[in-house]
Amino acid sequence: MAELDYVIVGLGNPGAEYEFTPHNLGFLVIDRLAESHGVRVSRKENMSLVGLGTIQGKPVALAKPQTFVNLSGPAVKGLVERYGLDPDRVVLVYDELDLPWASLKIKPKGSDAGHNGVKSVIGSLGTTKIPRVRLGIHPGRPVDGEKFVLAPFRRSQKKEVEEVVGRGAAAVESILAEGVEKSMTIFNRRARGLHQEEE
């Protein structure tokens, strides 16, 4: 069994129809990290697609649960148990409707803020102390949340989405290199258009 420092979990939905939707930003960040660091995310383990590699000198697993976002918990729990990691060695990457589009916030712990995928992970791991990279998706107008997160991005948004994904990948790399607290001071201050929000 590989000795790992972290498992990086991107939340998303399997299937081509969901590939380029807000709810799949977590998957897209995992894909970007895999591409940048030469990791193949293709092993089937614990209801997830997994790839093992080294990022910032740390041995990690990159994982994309294949259970659909809202049921991600058991898959994440299975990976944590498989690799003998504590929950604070999971970095959860996901879309956040509570944050404005293109903003990013790193948190060391906290509630699910109404995100069912995070709720499932917290429920399965039995703790809220799970480091996370939250990628803001709120478009700044009233939306039906359930429909919005599953609606494909517009073609015209491709460049912006690429930038958001790149920033998400950079935040994960920073957490691995510098730790969560230091990364929060770097990334959270730079967040665009961020209003005060719940801690």
Distance between first and last Cα of the chain: 37
Exposure of 178 by Cβ count < 10 A (0-12 exposed, 13-18 middle, 19+ buried)? Answer: middle
Does residue 84 lie within any of the structural domains?
yes
Does residue 199 lie within any of the structural domains?
no
The total number of structural domains in the chain stands at 1
Compute the average pLDDT of residues 8-28: 97
Exactly one of 23, 37, 138, 195 is catalytic; name it.
23
Q: How far apart are CA 159 and CA 181, in angstroms?
A: 29
Q: Which domain holds residue 92?
A: 6-190
Q: What CATH number is associated with residue 166?
A: 3.40.50.1470
Contact 33, 58 (CB under 8 A): no
Helix ranges, 61-178 (H): 73-82, 116-125, 145-150, 158-178
pLDDT digits (tens, 9 = 90+) for 148-199: 999 999 999 999 999 999 999 999 999 999 999 999 999 997 655 444 444 3
Does residue 195 lie within any of the structural domains?
no
Does residue 197 lie within any of the structural domains?
no
pLDDT digits (tens, 9 = 90+) for 99-145: 999 999 999 999 999 999 999 999 999 999 999 999 999 999 999 99
The enclosing H or E element of 188 equals helix 180-190
Does residue 12 lie within any of the structural domains?
yes
Contact 60, 7 (CB under 8 A): yes
Give catalytic status of residue 115 as yes or no.
no
Does residue 196 lie within any of the structural domains?
no
Contact 6, 58 (CB under 8 A): yes
Does residue 1 lie within any of the structural domains?
no
Average pLDDT across the chain, whole number? 94
